[in-house]
């Protein structure tokens, strides 16, 4: 049985629906990331799990226990908020000992557990410091330590890296992932940052407009997005979207954009045709699925180099194609990127089996 279950959860504040209908499970020891734009309902789900949001409908289970009506302190769940809410007048040691003293644990057990957490979070040299004497990243570790020391059944983190600078974000992110691996604790982690979500999550729940859009592994979400929102939200640079008209040609579907067209294989064409309402579709092509050539050829479309942008070992090439700008991502050593000149004519082909076809109105993925 899943360790944490959220079933058909609905939360409203007055007439404002914060989460409409959320269902997902988190397995024992799994790190589940809730990701989506601001206002999507991510924090509301965490607060509902922890016991701080008014549940209008639906159920939350921790293990076998139905926790909807349990007060927060009886749920055995720890939450780390965006604001690192530490006691400023207490040292690191005291900040950590406090939750255990509050439940009257014996003094030697408190000493042992504080020492363990300090070791694990590499904070032993800082135990006597006050929060103001620590860096942002160290303060965040104290906040995490304070939640962990209670050994909760599940651990909830709400944008724990916001407020840290870019380098520290990446360091703390890998730190949390490592910590999770060492402890095997069930974690639910909220972020609006899709790169962070893909870097850290075993399972990703994508939210938008107060609804769960898709639940899956990072690879599933990236490679098999259920709709255009998910396809656009994950990936950097974002997926290219080309409006097309679909027409049947024998057992194949031909997608046309102006004078240009792409023909899909019969199996895929049949699958799409079953779900196709009218012929108005959108072809989604990831930047890494565009190949650049200097010569024209079968299935290649002409485009002009608009801008090139080196990014480490990769080159992002912006290409003007009809009225669109398409973004391609190339390896700097193997691709053409390095040698391209502005406004140069190139020819593109797409790794069609990896592309997605969406319905233009419902935005659902058809392939
Ligand atoms: P996210 O974490 O994805 O940014 P939230 O869960 O914080 O989103 O918010 C979802 C929606 O619910 C937003 O429209 C937000 O304004 C609203 N909301 C959240 N908390 C409250 C509250 N306490 N009172 C009224 N509206 C709220």
What is the predicted pLDDT for the residue at 82? Answer: 63
Q: Residue 114: which of 96, 89, 95 has the closest Cα? A: 96
pLDDT tens for 147-169 read 888 878 889 999 888 777 787 78
Report whether residue 329 contacts ligand 1, using a CB cutoff of 6 Å.
no
* 240-359 is classed CATH 1.25.40.10: no
- Looking from the CA of residue 43, the nearest atom of ligand 1 is 2
Report whether residue 13 contacts ligand 1, using a CB cutoff of 6 Å.
yes
pTM over the 0.95 mark:
no
Pocket test for ligand 1, best of 44, 52, 211 (most atoms within 8 A of CB): 44
Q: Mention every residue, 6+ apart, whose C-beta is less than 8 A from residue 192.
A: 35, 36, 37, 38, 42, 159
- Looking from the CA of residue 45, the nearest atom of ligand 1 is 6
What is the predicted pLDDT for the residue at 83? Answer: 63
Rounded to the nearest whole angstrom, what is the distance from the C-alpha of residue 14 to the centroid of ligand 1? 11
Report whether residue 41 contacts ligand 1, using a CB cutoff of 6 Å.
yes
CA-CA distance, 300 to 182, in Å (whole number)? Answer: 49
Report whether residue 15 contacts ligand 1, using a CB cutoff of 6 Å.
no
- Domain made up of 4-227: CATH architecture: 3-Layer(aba) Sandwich (3.40)
Q: Please calculate the CA angle 196-3-202 and round it to the nearest 5 degrees.
A: 25
What is the predicted pLDDT for the residue at 319? Answer: 97
pLDDT by residue, tens only, the chain of 367 residues? 679 999 999 999 999 999 999 999 999 999 999 999 999 999 999 999 999 999 999 999 999 899 999 999 899 898 887 666 789 999 999 999 998 998 899 999 999 999 988 987 889 999 999 999 998 888 888 988 888 888 788 899 998 887 777 877 887 788 788 878 877 889 999 999 999 999 999 999 999 999 999 999 999 999 999 999 999 999 999 999 999 999 999 999 999 999 999 999 999 999 999 999 889 999 999 999 999 999 999 989 999 999 999 999 999 999 999 999 999 999 988 888 788 999 999 999 999 999 999 999 999 999 8
Nearest CA to ligand 1 atom 15: 39
Nearest CA to ligand 1 atom 7: 43
Q: Mention every residue, 6+ apart, whose C-beta is less than 8 A from residue 209.
A: 20, 40
What is the predicted pLDDT for the residue at 334? Answer: 85
What is the predicted pLDDT for the residue at 117? Answer: 86
What is the predicted pLDDT for the residue at 132? Answer: 93
Pocket test for ligand 1, best of 16, 82, 194 (most atoms within 8 A of CB): 16
Domain boundaries, the chain: 4-227, 240-359
Same fold, 4-227 and 240-359: no
What is the predicted pLDDT for the residue at 62? Answer: 93
């Amino acid at each position: 049985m899943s360790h944490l279950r959220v079933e058909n959860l609905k939360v409203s504040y007055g007439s404002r629906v914060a989460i409409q209908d959320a269902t997902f499970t988190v397995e024992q020891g799994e790190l589940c990331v809730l990701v989506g734009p601001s206002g999507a309902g991510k924090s509301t789900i965490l607060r509902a799990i922890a016991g701080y949001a008014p549940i209008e409908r639906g159920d939350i289970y921790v293990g076998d226990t139905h926790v909807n009506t349990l007060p927060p302190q009886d749920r055995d769940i720890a939450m780390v908020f965006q604001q690192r809410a530490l006691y400023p007048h207490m040292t690191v040691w005291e900040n950590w000992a406090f939750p255990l003293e509050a439940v009257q644990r014996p003094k030697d057990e408190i000493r042992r557990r504080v020492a363990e957490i300090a070791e694990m979070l590499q904070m032993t040299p800082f135990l006597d410091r006050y929060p103001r004497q620590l860096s942002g990243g160290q303060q965040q570790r104290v906040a995490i330590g304070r939640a962990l020391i209670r050994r909760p059944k599940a651990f909830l983190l709400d944008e724990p890296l916001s407020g840290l600078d870019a380098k520290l974000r990446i360091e703390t992110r890998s730190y949390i992932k490592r910590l999770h691996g060492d402890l095997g604790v069930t974690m639910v982690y909220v972020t609006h940052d899709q790169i962070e979500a893909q870097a850290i999550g075993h399972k990703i729940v994508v939210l938008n407009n107060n609804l769960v859009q898709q639940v899956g592994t990072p690879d599933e979400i990236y490679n098999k997005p259920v709709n255009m929102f998910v396809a656009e939200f994950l990936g950097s640079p974002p997926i290219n979207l080309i409006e097309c008209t679909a027409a049947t040609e024998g057992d194949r579907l031909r997608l046309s954009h102006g004078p240009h067209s792409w023909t899909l294989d019969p199996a895929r064409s049949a699958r799409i045709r079953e779900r196709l309402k009218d012929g108005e579709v959108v072809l989604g092509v990831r930047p890494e699925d565009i190949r650049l050539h200097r010569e024209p050829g079968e299935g290649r479309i002409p485009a002009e180099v608009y801008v090139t942008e080196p990014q480490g070992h990769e080159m992002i090439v912006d290409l003007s194609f009809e009225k669109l700008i398409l973004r391609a991502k190339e390896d700097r050593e193997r691709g053409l990127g390095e040698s391209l000149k502005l406004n140069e004519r190139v020819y593109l082909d797409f790794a069609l089996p990896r592309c997605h076809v969406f319905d233009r109105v419902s935005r659902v993925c058809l392939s």
